[in-house]
């Protein structure tokens, strides 16, 4: 039986340790700005508070996703109130879902127990396939017909965003926003360079060119 590793940014962890009887099935760890204190194996679940003493919850979220050790953790964002805009931001930052706070012990355990039933299946669905292209969120790797595509972090994010919106023209503005680049404002022409680098990487892996340029508008991930 896998041990579920639960990370929390709040102090709820200690209280939970007392609460849970079967210690073998869960570990709890405090989640600070620099990530988890110890490395773990098995499924991970992070509860990230919207407001944190040292770091914004959104930023925490992004760091978890960027860090290879925690990239495939299930991230639940804890919102204080039910603001649709905040929910969108949370999910954009990489959160898998959210709860409207305050976080209670039972809310945590309900979700975690549900995770266990989803458990193994979940990792399989964290990868998706579009034609010859496979994107593995957990491993942060993309393949073209089993052939790995060597991508830099930004290129991976770009490919992912494009692939999540197939057959839809994305403007340069969409793409910049989709990759969460706000500060400082990014020059739209920079997107062209991103696309160029991504295309070259796919080509280097023997792939075709699923990225179609739509003149004067943007780019599309062509699925067909």
Partner DNA sequence: CAAGGGTGTGACGCGTTTGTGACTGCTTTT
Partner DNA sequence: AAAAGCAGTCACAAACGCGTCACACCCTTG
Compute the least distance from the CB of residue 26 to a second copy, in Å: 12
Cα separation values, 21 from 14, 16, 24, 116, 200, Å: 13, 10, 9, 17, 53
Is residue 62 within the footprint of DNA (CB under 7 A)?
no
- Please choose, out of 24-32, 54-62, 90-98, 186-194, the segment that lies near DNA by the rule CB under 7 A: 186-194
Closest C-alpha among 79, 74, 65, 68 to residue 117: 74
Is residue 2 within the footprint of a second copy (CB under 8 A)?
yes
Is residue 170 within the footprint of a second copy (CB under 8 A)?
yes
Is residue 155 within the footprint of DNA (CB under 7 A)?
yes
- Please choose, out of 18-26, 39-47, 104-112, 183-191, the segment that lies near DNA by the rule CB under 7 A: 183-191
**Binding partner of residue 53 among DNA, a second copy, none, CB cut-off 5 to 8 Å per kind:** none
d(CA 155, CA 141): 11
At 211, is the secondary structure helix, strand, or coil?
Answer: strand
Query: Contact with a second copy (CB under 8 A): which of 3, 16, 56, 140?
Result: 140
Comparing CB distances to DNA, the nearer of 84 and 184 is 184
d(CA 184, CA 60): 19
Structure tokens at 173: 């503005």
d(CA 217, CA 203): 24
Query: Given the rule CB under 7 A, which residues bind DNA?
Result: 152-155, 181, 184-187, 189-190, 192-196, 199-200, 213-218
């Amino acid at each position: 039986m896998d041990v579920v590793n639960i990370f929390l940014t709040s102090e709820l962890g200690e209280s939970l340790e007392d609460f849970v009887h079967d210690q073998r099935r869960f570990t709890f760890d405090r989640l600070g700005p620099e990530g988890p204190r110890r490395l773990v194996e098995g499924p991970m679940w992070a509860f990230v508070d919207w407001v944190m003493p040292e770091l914004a919850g959104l930023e925490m979220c992004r760091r978890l996703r960027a860090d290879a050790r925690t990239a495939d953790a299930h991230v639940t964002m804890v919102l204080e109130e039910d603001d649709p805009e905040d929910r969108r931001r949370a999910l954009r930052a990489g959160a898998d879902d959210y709860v409207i706070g305050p976080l209670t012990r039972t809310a945590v355990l309900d979700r975690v127990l549900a995770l266990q039933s989803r458990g193994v299946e979940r990792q399989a669905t964290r990868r998706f396939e579009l034609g010859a292209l496979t994107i593995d969120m957990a491993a942060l790797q993309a393949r073209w017909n089993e052939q790995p595509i060597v991508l830099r972090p930004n290129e991976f994010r770009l490919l992912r965003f494009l692939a999540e919106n197939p057959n839809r023209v994305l403007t340069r503005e969409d793409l910049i926003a989709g990759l969460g680049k706000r500060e400082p404002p990014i020059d739209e022409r920079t997107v062209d360079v991103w696309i160029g680098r991504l295309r070259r990487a796919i080509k280097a892996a023997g792939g075709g060119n699923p990225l179609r340029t739509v003149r004067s508008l943007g780019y599309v991930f062509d699925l067909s």
